[in-house]
Structure 1
Amino acid sequence: MPQEDNLSAYNSTDSDPSVFFLSGIPGLEAMHLWISIPFCSVFTVALLGNCTLLYVIKTEPSLHKPMFYFLAMLAIVDLVISTTIMPKLLSIFWFNSREISFNACLVQMFFIHSFFNVESGVLVAMAFDRYVAICNPLRYATILTNSVIAKIGLAALIRPVFIRIPLFIFLRRLPFCRSHVIAHCYCEHIAVVKLACGNTTFNNVYGLFLTVFIVGQDLTFITVSYVQILRTVLRLASKEEQLKAFGTCISHLFTILIVYTPLVLSSVVHRFGQLVAPHIHVLMGSFYFVFPPMMNPIVYGVKTKEVRSRMHLLFRRKNL
């Protein structure tokens, strides 16, 4: 087949080192068009949901509060992650457009991994917001001022960007004299590192350290926040007050599950990689980055009363 000939050409050692090929989903190339349907649907829902959420928060003065500012940050991060991956992924499925320059591959990889860590930082900020709202409600407005929110958002952005820069500097300097076919739908870090013919110890060790350090640190902060929240809620006099207080955390808890559960499943699949088919690896890795951006606005639209009522009002106006 023509596409197999093209991939074989890029497997040779004398091919252009500045050009790479994304393999798509190994073994399921004939089904790419059908597979594109759910991916395209998820991407469309993610775009519409997050853009609608941002519009509602921006245009509704009653939502100009710390909780919704952090929610807007989450929506922006989800839009960046999904638009970084999906256009190229769909072009592979629809047009067999597999070629990608090495520099474009590095840029995609940087945005994917950095902004996942930004999302993790925003989830920590949202946990802190719920902690202050429940455990110290009288000082909520004085603690979470607009300047503090801006600094928290900036810290969530700067932290992963700067600590990941060395990873991509070292990757950029590695020689690639083997196959130039990346066994994935997007430029996944480990999949690219495996193609290098130099010493990749730094990238393997530092990449693992960053994942464990950032995710572990963030989950620790979130856990500590919710332990304090739970202790405060259990001290409330009535069951009604307890349910009302904890009800404000439900959306955030759902979001944590949506973001971190695919990460855990993906890690398990990688750990037992020899027992799992390659197409399962790729499908789970791709799904891992497109599912949360679709679900987060749905969760907050359904579970958060203020957002739900404003969205309902918005669609009512459009139908009139």
Structure 2
Amino acid sequence: MTSQLKIHWMASPSNDSTAPVSEFLLICFPSYQSWQRWLSLSLSLLFILAMGASATLLITIQLEASLHEPMYYLLSLPSLLGMVLCLTAIPKVLAIFFDLRSISFSACFLQMFIMNNFLAMESCTLMVMAYDRYVAICHPLRYPSIITNHFVAKVSVFVVIRNALTVPIPILPALLYCGKNVIANCICANLVQLSCDNFTLNRIYQSVAGWTLLGSDFILIFISYIFILRAVLKFKAEGAAVKALSMCGSHAILILFFSTVLLVVVLTHVARKSIPVDTLILLNVLHHFISLALNPIVYGVQTKEIKQGIQKLLRRGM
């Protein structure tokens, strides 16, 4: 059955090379079709773990009055964005494992737009959190007057508007798609390569816009940490430097997790000839789980107040 389906998928694009595409076929792990039912069990467990961990963090911040502060609202944003990303991609991935491979033209572009948009939002949120840590360490006396609930609200609006206006995906549906409709991936990715139009300008625009957004965010994060390190080196009180750096621990680990996303992107586009395609697809899927599942664990370990809030929430549930 598997071999018959594979032949059909490979043959279907060539039936009519000029007919407009109404849907795409997603093929997870093309070389390992027989493994997919078993892999679905592992990914389902990871999905439940990741969503449950992030939901626990968000509920804790919502219910615990002592956590109703701007810093904790900022800490909750990456988990919220990660949950949206996970819900956008993973349910469809699990459906593919049970032969529900087709996805409509509009749904595919919607998935791609949300994933690119929220990925850029995550990057922007990390930049805002770096500014929060900069103010907390370099201007501690002014922190309560700068980082307020009003500031968090304005930042949230800025993050949404910036990425809605600059993410390049809305251009892609304007291309003409005909003939080829098979995507050798678990998610809607690299659709521009399936277009029968000349997509050179679109590819350049996507690359420039995407890397400009991510690059500018990481440059600002880097600058913030330079100022933080300069301030820390001037601390003379015993243990002050260690305490100040520990305040940045959670944020630094979040940046490390997010960097794995960039690594996956680079591997997918640069090293696809030297790395098996199934390995790249697996990395592409797993990075949705890793940061989402580990963010709340990092907060629990690094932030005493959140750890205590989660313990209180668990005791209530028992």
With the shorter chain as reference, the TM-score category is over 0.9
Equivalent residue for 2:47?
43
Query: Which ranges in structure 2 are unaligned for 5 or more consecutive residues?
Result: none
1:253-303 C-alpha deviation (Å, 9 max, x unpaired): 001001112422440342122111111121122223332112111211222
Residue in 1 aligned with 2:246?
A: 247
Tell me if structure 1 keeps the 8 A contact 2:137–2:244.
Answer: yes
* Distance (whole Å) between structure 2 residues aligned to residue 108 and residue 9 of structure 1: 26
- Alignment deviations for residues 110-169 of structure 1 (CA, whole Å, 9 cap, x no partner): 0111100001111111111111111111111111122221111111111112112xx334
**Corresponding residue number in structure 2 for 1:91:** 95
Note the alpha carbon deviations across 1:25-56, whole angstroms, 9 max, x for none.
12011101222233222211111111111111
TM-score by length of 1: 0.93
Does 2:160 correspond to 1:161?
Answer: no
Aligned equivalent of 2:31: 27
User: Per the alignment, in what secondary structure is the counterpart of residue 97 of structure 1?
Assistant: coil
Give, in whole Å, the separation in 1 of the partners of 2:287 and 2:179.
28
The equivalent of 2:56 in structure 1 is 52
Contact 1:58–1:64, Cα closer than 8 Å, also in 2: yes
Contact 2:264 2:280 in 1 (8 A): no
Alignment map for 1:1-320 (pairs within 5 Å): 1-14=3-16, 17-93=21-97, 95-164=98-167, 167-188=168-189, 190=190, 192-319=191-318
Contact 2:20 2:176 in 1 (8 A): no
* 4+ residue runs over 4 A deviation: none
User: Identity across aligned pairs (percent)?
Assistant: 36
- For 2:32 and 2:232, locate their aligned partners in 1 and report how far apart those are by CA, in whole Å: 50
Aligned in 2, Cα 1:124/1:169: closer, same or farther, shift over 3 Å?
closer
Query: Any unmatched runs of 5+ in structure 1?
Result: none
Distance (Å, rounded) in 2 between the aligned partners of 1:143 and 1:243: 24
One-letter code aligned to 1:253: A
How many aligned residue pairs are there?
Answer: 314
**SS state at 1:238 partner:** coil
SS of residue matched to 2:25: strand
Deviation at 1:75, TM superposition (A): 1.6
* Distance in 1 between residues matched to 2:265 and 2:113, nearest whole Å: 19
Alignment RMSD (CA, Å): 1.6
> In structure 1, what is the Cα distance between the partners aligned to 2:127 and 2:169?
25
Question: Retained in 2: the 8 A contact 1:13–1:179?
Answer: no
SS at match of 1:179: coil
- Please, what TM-score do these two structures have when normalized by structure 2? 0.94
